[in-house]
């Protein structure tokens, strides 16, 4: 476990995160604008990016604050939107649970769709990675994401949204995930999982609290598991 | 909503979100997840990434889902998917997707 290799893991984590960062800039700026328009002071408007650090939840809860919704509704909305994080946590547990508590808590705090996706795909592709390598790779990507999100929220809060919507920079987000998911569809079970996830997300698109995404993830996982379980039986008996 | 209530909400959402993020990573050190759950979770990346991508690619001008082939995001998404499949390169996928989207927005 040489220091040189860990440095390389850290750099690799940063390098694969880089293309995913441009898409978060317009999104973060919108979160800042919405906070400013909702009448939050600078400390709360930007501080929520530090305390919550989850874009969709921040946008939804800020909007509810502006609408003077009951505080319990604001809190529950923010949490239901982030339910998928528990699935990410379960998926990463086998790889990262053995880290000391400080590192576990830090990487948990920094968990995003992006840091989860990049890390789990890397860990799966390289089963020989050491625990220290896995942590270095994760943090290499997660820290730049945190910095960019915070900077984008602050810029949006103070300057307003200076990026014209016609540039469609928000489209970088799905394109980045698309580039990750296509190579991840390695076999029939993964293809069915992706197909089911996409279909349920479309069907559940109008559900509140981002629940469509959570249900789509659950349904996709169940479908992939079912296909694998059914498909593997004849081979086991042969 | 007054300042104290706003901070109350922000801090509780922050703590709750941290608990969700840490949940199984913390539990995992003490109890192993049941084998079927671990097996099923191997499909989470494909399922959740597809669930993020598909509605975003189908989003039309009005902000609602639009399945027509004159939806620039849909065409750009298909072009990007083909490039992702052929090249496995994130940068090439981003270039193909954004290039197609911008070209179609300029033309339509």
Task: Summarize pLDDT for A78-118 with one digit per residue, the tens.
Answer: 999 999 999 999 999 999 999 999 999 999 999 999 999 99
Do B85 and B52 sit in the same domain of this protein? yes
Give the structural domain span for B38. Answer: 1-42
| Other Cβ atoms closer than 10 A to A186 | 11
On whether both B64 and B101 belong to a single domain, the answer is yes
3-state SS, residue A99: coil
Q: Are B49 and B87 in the same domain?
A: yes
Q: Are residues B5 and B54 in the same domain?
A: no
Separation between Cα atoms, residue A30 and residue A112, nearest integer Å: 18
Residue B24 CA to residue B79 CA, distance in Å, equals: 37
Shortest Cα distance from B70 to chain A (angstroms)? 16
Measured between beta carbons, the chain B residues lying within 8 angstroms of A183 are: 84, 88
Give me the residue from A19, A65, A200 closest to B9, CB to CB: A65
Give the mean model confidence (pLDDT) for residues A188-206.
96
Asked if the model's pLDDT at residue B6 lies above 80, the reply is yes
Same domain as B79, residue B66? yes
Contacts of residue A224 in chain B, CB cutoff 8 Å?
40, 42-43, 46-47
As given in the structure block, the two tokens for residue A169 are 């920079």
Same domain for B16 and B52, yes or no, is no
Residue A60 — very low, low, confident or very high, per pLDDT cuts 50/70/90?
Answer: very high
B78 touches chain A (CB under 8 A): no
Q: Does B63 share its domain with B93?
A: yes
CA torsion, ordered B60, B65, B71, B73, to nearest 10 deg: 80
Distance from CA of A39 to the nearest CA of B (A): 9
Same domain? B32 vs B75: no
Residues B70 and B104 in one domain: yes
* Largest interatomic CA distance in chain B: 58
Do B52 and B101 fall within a single domain? yes
pLDDT band per the 50, 70, 90 thresholds, residue A237: very low
**Number of domains within chain B:** 2
- A138-181 confidence digits (pLDDT tens): 999 999 999 999 999 999 999 988 888 888 888 999 999 999 99
Same domain? For B54 and B88 the reply is: yes
Domain check: are B50 and B25 in the same one?
A: no
pLDDT digits 0-9 by tens, A142-151: 999 999 999 9
User: What does the DSSP assignment read for A195-219?
Assistant: HHHHHHHHHTTT-GGGHHHHHHHHH
Q: CA–CA separation, A222 vs A189, rounded Å?
A: 10
This prediction has a pTM of 0.92
Write down the ipTM of this complex.
Answer: 0.92
């Amino acid at each position: 476990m040489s220091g040189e290799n860990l440095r390389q893991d850290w750099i690799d984590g940063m390098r694969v995160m880089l293309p995913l960062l441009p898409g978060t800039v317009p999104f973060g700026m919108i979160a800042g604008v919405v906070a400013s328009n909702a009448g939050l002071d600078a400390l709360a408007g930007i501080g929520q990016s530090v305390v919550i650090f989850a874009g969709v939840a921040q946008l939804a809860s800020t909007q509810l604050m502006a609408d003077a919704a009951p505080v319990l509704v604001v809190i529950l909305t923010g949490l239901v939107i982030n339910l998928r994080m528990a699935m990410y946590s379960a998926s990463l547990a086998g790889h990262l649970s053995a880290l000391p508590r400080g590192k576990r808590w830090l990487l948990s705090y920094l968990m995003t769709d992006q840091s989860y996706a990049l890390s789990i795909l890397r860990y799966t592709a390289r089963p020989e990675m050491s625990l220290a390598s896995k942590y270095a790779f994760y943090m290499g990507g997660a820290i730049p994401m945190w910095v960019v999100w915070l900077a984008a929220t602050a810029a949006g809060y103070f300057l307003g949204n200076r990026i014209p919507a016609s540039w469609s920079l928000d489209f970088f987000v799905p394109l980045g995930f698309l580039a990750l998911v296509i190579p991840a569809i390695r076999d029939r079970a993964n293809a069915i999982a992706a197909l089911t996830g996409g279909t349920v997300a479309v069907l559940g698109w109008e559900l509140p609290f981002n629940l469509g995404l959570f249900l789509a993830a659950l349904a996709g996982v169940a479908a992939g598991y079912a296909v694998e379980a059914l498909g593997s039986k004849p081979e086991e008996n042969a | 909503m007054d300042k104290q209530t706003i901070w109350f909400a922000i801090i509780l959402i922050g703590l709750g979100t941290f608990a969700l993020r840490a949940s199984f990573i913390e539990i995992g050190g003490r109890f192993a997840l049941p084998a079927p759950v671990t097996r099923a979770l191997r499909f989470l990346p494909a399922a959740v990434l597809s669930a993020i991508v598909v509605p975003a690619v189908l989003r039309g001008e009005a902000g609602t889902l639009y399945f027509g082939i004159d939806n620039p995001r849909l065409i750009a998404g298909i072009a990007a998917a083909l490039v992702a499949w052929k090249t496995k390169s994130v940068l090439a996928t981003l270039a193909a997707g954004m290039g197609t989207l911008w070209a179609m927005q300029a033309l339509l």
